[in-house]
Amino acid sequence: MRSEGLLVLADGTSFTGELCGAEPPGGVAIGELVFNTAMSGYQEIVTDPSYAGQMIAFTYTHIGNYGVTPDDDESRGLFCRGVVVRDLARRPSSWRSAESLESYLARQGVPVLSGVDTRMLTRRLRQSGSLPAAFGALSYSELVESALAEPGTDGRDLASTVTTGAPYERSGGRLTVVAYDFGIKTSILRQLASIASVAVVPASTPAAEVLEARPDGVFLSNGPGDPAALGWAADNVRALLGRVPVFGICLGHQVLASALGAKTYKLRFGHHGANHPVRNLASRAVEITSQNHNYAVDGDLPAGVEVTHLNLNDGVVEGISCTEVPAFGVQYHPEAGPGPHDARYLFEEFRALMEGERR
C-alpha cells in the first residue's frame, strides 16, 4: 500500500509523491541526490556500488517496466540510499523478469518515492548542483532539518564501505590481473575475465602484497565518494607504477591520476547516464558512453601525463595515459551493460599492454 510522502532538498525545495519500496530507517531516507538520464538499465544503476551515500532520481518517466533478474545485479547488495521516480511500474512485462523492481527494492532495503515531478526536480538539480535531500512521511520542517544534516560525499572515503572483506578469484585467460575493489561491478569482472584470470583484493591491500603475486597487470575499479579522500589508495598505486601495467576506470581513473600528481574536483551535478559523447583524441572517433561519477580529473596535468579522451558535452577529461610508464585510465564505463559498447576495446588495449610488458 503506497502512502503520501514528501521530498525536500537542502535548499528548501519540496516535491510530493508516494512512498513505496522499503521503510526508511527512522521514517526518512537521506542522501546526496543525483539524477540519471538513462532510459534503461535501471537494475545496473541501483546495484552499482558507486551510488553509496547517494539517492538516485531517474529522469526517464517509466521505470521498472521489464522487472529485475539476478543475472543483471552489479554487486552483492545495494548501497544507494533511495530511489526517486515519476512512475514506478506495478506490473513488469519480460520473460527474464524474476520480480518487480518495487518488490526487489523493498527486499533490498531501499526506500522509493514515486509520482514525483522528476522533470522539475532535474531542472532544479541542474541549476543548484547535486544536493543533500530527504524524503519520507515526516513534516516539511523535519525533512529540511534531515537534509541539512546530511554531509554529502565531499571529503568522504566511501570506497572502504563497499569493498570486499576478503580476496576472491575469477578464472580466465593465461594472463593474471589483480583488481583493487573500490566498488567493483560484476560486468567489469566479466570483461576482465575474458582476457585474464582475476584476483580481486580489498581496497586497502598494500602494493607490496600485490607485487608479491607477480601479476601481469593491476586494475583499479570504479567506486563511490571523493577521490581526494583516498590518499592511501594513491600511495599504493604510486608504488605500483613502473612495476606493472595499470588500468583504471571511473574512481580508479581518478586514483591513478592522483598517484601521478594530478588534481581532482567535484562536478556541479555529475555525469550519470548512458549517452555521453566522448572524443578519442588519438583516433578522433566519438564514443557514446555510459557514465556515473560526481568527481573528475583536472585538465592541468603534470608532465608525463596526457589527455586521451574528452567529454564533448562539457570538455571534462575522460581519459589519461602516462607517457613514461604503462598506465592509463578512463572516466566512463566501457563495460556497461545495458549500455553502449563503443569503448569495449579498452579491455583489449589493457591485454595488449600486459602482453607487451610480458615479453
Catalytic residues: 250, 333, 335
Question: How many CB atoms are located within 10 Å of the residue 229 CB?
Answer: 16
Residue ranges with strand state E in the chain: 3-9, 14-21, 28-36, 54-58, 62-63, 82-84, 87-88, 111-114, 131-136, 168-170, 175-181, 196-202, 217-220, 246-249, 264-280, 286-297, 305-311, 317-322, 327-330
Q: Which of 228, 195, 220, 208 is nearest to 294 (CA)?
A: 228
117: cell is 515531478
Location of C-alpha cell 522539475: 120
List the alpha helices (DSSP H) in the chain: 42-46, 101-107, 118-128, 140-149, 159-162, 186-193, 207-212, 231-240, 251-259, 345-358
328: cell is 592509463
190: cell is 566479466
